[in-house]
Amino acid sequence: MEKGHISVQTENIFPIIKKFLYSDQEIFLRELIANAVDATSKIKTLALKGEAEIDTDDLTIEIILNEADKTLTIKDKGIGMSEEEVKKYLNQVAFSSAQEFLEKYKEESSIIGHFGLGFYSAFMVAERVTVNTKSFKEEPAVIWSCEGDPAYTLESSEKTERGTEITLHIAEDSTEFLQKGRIDELLNKYCKFLPVEIQFGTKTETTYEGEGDDKEEKTTEVANIINNPKPAWKKSPSELTDEDYQSFYSELYPYSTPPLFWIHLNIDFPFNLTGILYFPKLSNNLEVQKNKIQLYSNQVFVTDDVKEIMPEFLTFLHGVIDSPDIPLNVSRSYLQSDQNVKKITTYITKKVADKLEELFKKEREAFEEKWENMGVFVRYGMYSDDKFYDRASKFALYKNHEDKYHTFEEYKEFIKDNQTDKNGKLVAIYSNNATEQASYIHAVKKYGYDVLVQDTMLDNHFYQKLEQKESDFSFVRVDSNTPDQIIDKDEKKESVLSEKDQTKVNEIFTSAINTPAATIELKALSPDDQPVVIVKPEFMRRMQEMSAFSGMNMGNMPEAYNVVVNTNHPIITDRLLKARKKQGELAKHLFSLALLSQNMLKGEDLSNFVNKSIELLE
């Protein structure tokens, strides 16, 4: 038996490992299995080159949990190690000094992978680790053992099969890793697509022999393989059908709604990247859609927090990205500065835009059918990413209340003859609630105007972005002005009322309404327009919506609006001025009708209005 000390420059290496890797304690299993996969890949490579004469039919890695002995074992049939290799790889921790280590990584949540500490992550959960290994070469097997300090033992082993068994004697403060359910969880999280079969326990398999009355059920115990070594993203697109892509999506996200479509990524220059990105059906609640992209490095799970790799808007996609150019353990500062990561970001954004443009050009009808489910994603991308904006402006769609879709250029052409204001600016009218704004929509349509559907929570911000990009274009909500003035064409009607009568009408409404939020405004509209209309000036409403969205107090201020009295409507010109004693009641009732059309009449005011309406009918 040989005894010695691991080559480190501090006696405190193991307490430091335990302390500073604790937040990522569970990663120990991923690290050890990743090492086993590497060892297995090496022996397969040597066999293919003819440098190792072995049977490569069964190279399964086995995970063995022994709750009674309080051990967890990772067993591979890989390349193995000789005594000399054990001394080289296990007894020399590439570690300059504890102080330098702490200074450099004190703000990082995970340091596994730095200075070759992957194997030593085992000591986060184990009080003792043994490595029983036999090289593929004709050399004796050895057992290395260490109890979480620089002292180790190395002795001969009776192991006869090639490969390595790492046994962790689990510490008292880490007994959660002796629970089968916990190990199942970690294997599913980190190892479900590793390129080598991983076995954890056995499962019962039922088969039937014979036919008819002689048919017999037979159950056998078979290896429980927990991973898919050949996931769809590692295959060529030519090998996969639509059903294969759908099936893989179900494998990633069981019980999820099928995706709209997908992009298969495959690039080997100037960096290596494979993957499949899916476009899910997005709801307006974008937050619940995020963090569904899984990042892998050579099929080893790294993270599902990819905001440092993907632009914010692309984090709403689902799927897998696999790049060996991203190390297994990365810090945020590393990702933010790494040139490969920046190239990956640019590449993926371009591929997404290419795919959407291709679908739009080749299958426009199908693209329009999908727009309701992906429009919020595209608009968020255009709002937050200028490069994507430039590409997406060719295929982003705008839907009107006749369910017709237009690109931006198509829509400009569609409305230019009738919706150009006196300054030559195109004005797009939109509605964000067809039910509540029905009377306004009907009114502007009488002027031949088109009305767009605003149906996502991002549209207000997106519209402002578009207005910044297109100086000759603006958006106004359908209730932002009276129908004759919603597009200012400098065309005004004359009132049939004298100035004296207009002053009287203004006094009647001012006295009857007496609401601080309301500003009375008299306008000469068409006799066919409503007698009283409530409008919410576009600028003020946008300010309130933006402040409310950002959490500022302005969103809680009383809503300001204009009460527009149509001085050409018969009810105003005849009924109101001739009503005498009941002028105030009639004005208040007309005001309540206008509030009702905006869904602004509520509570006691609504109840009073209903009672008053019944009284008038009687």
Predicted confidence (pLDDT) at residue 552 exceeds the cutoff of 80:
no
Residue 288 lies in a domain: yes
Query: Could you give the number of structural domains in the chain?
Result: 3
C-alpha distances in Å from residue 92, one per residue of 95, 192, 453, 513: 9, 31, 66, 85
Last residue of a domain, one of 368, 393, 423: 368
> Average of pLDDT values for 501-516?
87
**427: pLDDT confidence band, cut at 50, 70 and 90?**
very high
Q: Average pLDDT, stretch 421-432?
A: 93
Q: Are residues 110 and 173 in the same domain?
A: yes
What are the residue ranges of helices labelled H in 55-208?
83-90, 98-105, 180-190
| pLDDT higher than threshold 70 for residue 171 | yes
29-51: average pLDDT = 88
Q: Which of 532, 590, 618, 599 is nearest to 609 (CA)?
A: 590
Instruction: Return the pLDDT at 185.
Output: 95
Q: 226, 191, 184, 183: which is closest to 299 by C-alpha?
A: 191
Q: Judge whether residue 509 has pLDDT over 50.
A: yes
Question: Do 89 and 132 belong to one domain?
Answer: yes
Q: Which of 155-169, 210-224, 329-343 has the lowest mean pLDDT?
A: 329-343
Do the Cβ atoms of 126 and 152 come closer than 8 Å?
no
d(CA 372, CA 352): 18
SS3 300: strand
Q: Are residues 36 and 144 in the same domain?
A: yes
438 occurs within a structural domain: no
Tell whether the model's pLDDT for residue 9 goes beyond 80. Answer: no
Residue 262 has pLDDT above 70, yes or no: yes
**161 shares a domain with 269:** no
Per DSSP (E only), the strands in 135-240 are 142-146, 151-156, 163-170, 198-209, 216-225
**Alpha-carbon torsion (53, 54, 57, 62), positive or negative:** negative
Specify if 30 maps to a domain: yes
Tell the burial category of 355 from Cβ atoms under 10 Å away from its Cβ (0-12, 13-18, 19+): middle
Question: Does residue 101 have a pLDDT over 50?
Answer: no
Portion of the chain with pLDDT greater than 70, in percent: 86
Give tens-digit pLDDT for 450-473: 999 987 777 888 898 999 999 899
Instruction: Give the structural domain span for 549.
Output: 499-617
Q: Please check the confidence at residue 286 and state whether its pLDDT lies above 80.
A: no
299 and 341 fall within a common domain: yes
Q: Of the residues 368, 389, 411, which one is the last residue of a structural domain?
A: 368
Query: Does residue 122 share a domain with residue 31?
Result: yes
134: pLDDT strictly greater than 70: yes
Residue 450 located in a structural domain? no
144 and 247 share a domain? no
Least confident among 209-213, 266-270, 527-531: 209-213
521 or 65, which is more confident: 65
Q: Read off the pLDDT of each residue in 22-35 and give the average, rounded to a whole number.
A: 83
pLDDT at 558: 57
Are 188 and 236 within one domain?
no
Predicted local distance difference test score (pLDDT) of residue 23? 57
Q: Which of 86-95, 271-280, 330-339 has the lowest mean pLDDT?
A: 330-339
- Same domain? 578 vs 515: yes
Query: CA nearest 36: which of 166, 156, 126, 145?
Result: 166
pLDDT band at 55 (very low <50, low <70, confident <90, very high): confident
- Section 167-190 average pLDDT: 95
CATH no. for residue 134? 3.30.565.10
Specify the pLDDT at position 209.
Answer: 77
Give domain status of residue 259, yes or no. Answer: yes
Q: Which of 547, 441, 540 is nearest to 486 (CA)?
A: 441
In this structure, the answer to whether residues 131 and 278 fall within a common structural domain is: no
């009383």: which residue's tokens? Answer: 558
Strands 561-566 and 518-523: parallel
**Domain finish residue from 323, 344, 368:** 368
190 shares a domain with 243: no
* pLDDT for the residue 97: 34
Q: Let me know whether 196 and 236 are in one domain.
A: no
